[in-house]
Amino acid sequence: MPEKAKLRPLGNRVIAQPLTEEEKTKTGIILPDTVDKEKKAEGKIIAIGTGEKITKFNLKVGDRVIFGKYAGEEVKVDNVEYKILTDEDVLAVVES
């Protein structure tokens, strides 16, 4: 069940929770999140605005999306990191 955000996006914006994964080197060493590495450009939608452009995408809470590495605004609420993305920041939906 997706986490419910304490944020409500306005207009053509969505709130995404970036997905983080431990990375493993070729030799099997696990790199924790504290290691300085590029952030993944994938996240889970937890809230959707009511703007006309964003509603045309038919996004749903819980969808996994791809966005630009440096896209959107990063915010932290209750020690949870979120990205506020516009309709132009969302590049694709990951289908399972």
Identify whether 3 is part of a domain. Answer: no
Which position has the token pair 């605004």?
73
Range of the domain at 62: 13-94
Identify whether 75 is part of a domain. Answer: yes
Contacts of 90 (CB under 8 A, 6+ apart): 14, 57, 59, 65, 66, 67
Identify whether 7 is part of a domain. Answer: no
Which position has the token pair 């791809």?
66
**DSSP string covering 26-73:** TTSPEEPTTS--PPPSEEEEEEE---HHHHTTT--TT-EEEE-TT-SE
The pTM assigned to this predicted structure is 0.75
Identify whether 74 is part of a domain. Answer: yes
* DSSP element (H, E) containing 16: strand 13-18
Identify whether 2 is part of a domain. Answer: no
Question: Residue 74 belongs to a domain with what CATH number?
Answer: 2.30.33.40
Classify residue 87 by its DSSP letter: T
Q: What does the pLDDT profile of the chain (96 residues) look like in tens digits?
A: 445 658 999 999 999 999 875 555 556 666 565 555 555 589 999 999 999 999 999 999 999 999 988 899 999 999 989 999 999 999 999 987
Q: What is the pLDDT of residue 38?
A: 56
Domain count along the chain? 1
